[in-house]
Amino acid sequence: MAIKHRDFMKWHIWLGWLIGVPLILWTASGMFMVARPIEEVRGNHLRAEQQVLAMPFENIVMFADKGDAVMDARLITQGSSVIWIVNYEDGDTVRYDATTGRAMPSVDKQAAKAAAEAVYLPPEAIQSIRYFAANESPSDLRREKASWQVHFSDGTNIYIDALTGETLAVRTQFWRAFDFMWGLHIMDLQTREDTSHPILIGSAALALFGSILGFIMLFSRRKKRRRATI
């Protein structure tokens, strides 16, 4: 028995009820996420450039006195200071004062404050500074690294690496709104990282089937009208 146009319409209506909400969420969240350039979402325009200085490779051997092989090293500026960041084979990361060559301690609260003030361009006041261990990483950082969260009065969080003093992330209020919309878009509001799970795949499949069904209805309706005029 041939499938009639009203059967297609009935299925299309029921599918519309099922996929209507996901389609609205996908469209609204997608429109929000493309409203601003991704560089602005990441706060690149709010942070001062951190200069990485050129370094001859043979200079790395000067840090071999720790007893472990040096994997890599980089020479950077932090505020008015020039610092070596050296990564060793055993996984340790050590900061060295480029002027004296002495190993520097891990970044404390005061150093994190100075680093955040140096990197954040807007003239906002610091409201709080909080330390997070690597296994307690905040949801808006999403990197398993020990860090200092420096919270500014405009709602921006600057995350400073507790080992190196480098800036891990700039998280503005708009970034957090963007992150929430991304969670809606991929239907994962918990981790906001899983882009392949049954709910998302099933909703996408239903949306595709509903779209194909609507496309078929265009031709079946035209065919019905032609028959009516004969």
Q: Residues near 185 by Cβ (< 8 Å), separated by ≥ 6?
A: 25, 26, 29, 30, 33
Element (H, E) at 62: none
The two three-digit tokens of residue 110, written as one number: 């005061």
pLDDT at 1: 45
pLDDT at 216: 74
Model pTM above 0.85: no
Residue type, 164: T
**Whole-number Å distance between alpha carbons of 56 and 54:** 7
Q: What is the pLDDT of residues 39-69, one digit of tens each?
A: 999 999 999 877 666 555 555 556 655 566 7
Q: Taking a C-beta distance cutoff of 8 angstroms, is the pair 102, 108 a contact?
A: no
pLDDT at 89: 82
Domain boundaries, the chain: 5-38+180-229, 44-171
**Whole-number Å distance between alpha carbons of 169 and 146:** 13
Q: Taking a C-beta distance cutoff of 8 angstroms, is the pair 71, 88 a contact?
A: yes
Rounded to a whole number of angstroms, the distance between the first and last alpha carbons of the chain is 23
Element (H, E) at 6: helix 5-33
How large is the greatest C-alpha to C-alpha distance in the chain, in angstroms? 96
pLDDT at 214: 73
- Low-confidence spans in the chain with pLDDT less than 50: 1
